Structure formats: structure tokens, C-alpha cells
Amino acid sequence: MSISPPPGVTHEGNLIEVHNGGAEDWLQFSEVRPYTNAFIRQEGKILLGYKKRGFGKDLYNGFGGKLDPGETSLQAAERELQEEAGIQAKLRECGTLFFVDEKIAWAFHIHVFTAETFTGEVTETEEMRPQWFATQPAEETTDPEIAKLPQIPYSQMWADDVYWMPLLLSKTKFVARMDFASDGTLRKWWAAKEVQ
Ligand SMILES: Nc1ncnc2c1[nH]c(=O)n2[C@H]1C[C@H](O)[C@@H](COP(=O)(O)OP(=O)(O)OP(=O)(O)O)O1
């Protein structure tokens, strides 16, 4: 079955819609700016960062930000991971997020990346405090180190993350558009997974 993604979301592959909500119209936007967001995902756990300043302050998120002039999204994602978590990884793109916010003039086109391995030491930086979280309930793991980790803190993350993070964790390529109201709540959302 072919489905039509919302405005701003361009995708070539076969998609299956997994979430669709909010009664309002999609917000208009006049400019699109590229961003990155990267996650280290290992057996039973994921590395997130607590944002200490700036946009998204006090929320947990992946590591990422704006592209520098001349950079590809992959180069930017690997640089931001080094700058914000102190580690190096060969990242792979695993999804795309498109955000529009009533308070912000441009739309965010975020390339999402993952890796299972990394080099270097996970380090707190001026911008982010990295922390590991369990990706499965403590009673479902036999690994005592994983059982000790906190669960993914969705209540302290962007309101959209709960819709696409499970797809990232299940290694399913995804694409999503999320529109935010000026009070930070979601006003309209759509997410789909890619099928081969
Ligand atoms: N709604 C939502 N959900 C999940 N992730 C995000 C959003 N909105 C977002 O902007 N993000 C992500 C995308 C990026 O990874 C960061 C925002 O980047 P930012 O910190 O503004 O960019 P930097 O280049 O690091 O900024 P400074 O270093 O200049 O502060 O959040």
C-alpha cells in the first residue's frame, strides 16, 4: 500500500504508517535547516545525553546539532558526537525527522544516525552529560549490569521521541514529521517505517 508523507518529508522507499495524530493542519514553513542526531546503541542499552544548555536544555537526547559549512550530514554527526560525548564512531543513517515549531521560523530536517561500537571514552562535556539507559525492562535481561541501568526517560525527552525511538531500537528505518505548538506540546505528528 502506498502512503503519502506530510509536506516536507521526502522519501523514496516503501513506507508503512505507524503513528498519525493531531486534528490541526500541518504548520507552514519557509526554510529548512539540516541537523544531525546520533545514538550509540548496544545490546540492551543506549547512550543518551542530558543537554546542559541551549536549545532542548534539560532534556535527554542523542548527540548532534547543525551542519558546519561544507560538511555532509555524516561528517557533522561524527564531529558532534566527538564534541558532545568525547567519542568517535562510524555512524550509519537510520532515519529522518522533520520538525516544525510554531515559535521557530525554519523547519528542522534531522538526519538520525546510530553505531554499535565506538572508540574513546564517554565524557561529560560543556554541552552534554552522557548516560547509558536500558532498552528493555530489568526483569527481561540476564545481564546484571543492564538490569541496574535506568529505563529510557521519555518524560524528560522531546515529546516526539516516544513515537520513533522504538523504531530506532528495533533497527527499523523510519521517517517522521512532528509539529510543535508554542507551549512545547505536539500539535500534529506522523511517523512511518521503511519496508524492504
Ligand atoms: N523535537 C526534537 N526531538 C528530538 N531531537 C530534536 C528535536 N528538535 C531538535 O532540534 N532535536 C535535536 C537535533 C539536534 O541534534 C539537537 C539540536 O541541535 P543544537 O544543539 O541546537 O545544535 P548545535 O549545533 O549543537 O548548537 P550549539 O552548539 O550552537 O548550541 O536537538
- Cβ of residue 37 lying under 6 Å from some atom of ligand 1: yes
Dist CA 159 CA 29 (whole Å):
20
Mutation pick for ligand 1 pocket among 52, 57, 66 (CB with most ligand atoms within 8 Å): 66
- Cβ of residue 84 lying under 6 Å from some atom of ligand 1: no
- Cβ of residue 158 lying under 6 Å from some atom of ligand 1: yes
State residue 45 phi and psi, 5-degree precision.
Answer: -150, 160
Residues of the chain by 3-state class (helix, strand, coil), percent to 5 = 15, 40, 45
Look up the CATH architecture of domain 30-195: Alpha-Beta Complex (3.90)
- Cβ of residue 171 lying under 6 Å from some atom of ligand 1: no
By the 8 A CB rule, do 86 and 125 touch? yes
Each residue's pLDDT tens digit, 51-91: 999 999 999 999 999 999 999 999 999 999 999 999 999 99
What ipTM, to 2 d.p.? 0.93
- What value does the CA radius of gyration of the chain take, rounded to a whole number of Å? 17
Dist CA 170 CA 116 (whole Å):
13
Each residue's pLDDT tens digit, 13-58: 889 988 999 989 999 999 999 999 999 999 999 999 999 999 999 9
| 189 Cα–ligand 1 center, Å | 18
Q: Please report which helix (H) or strand (E) contains residue 79, including its range.
A: helix 73-85
Mean pLDDT of 175-192: 95
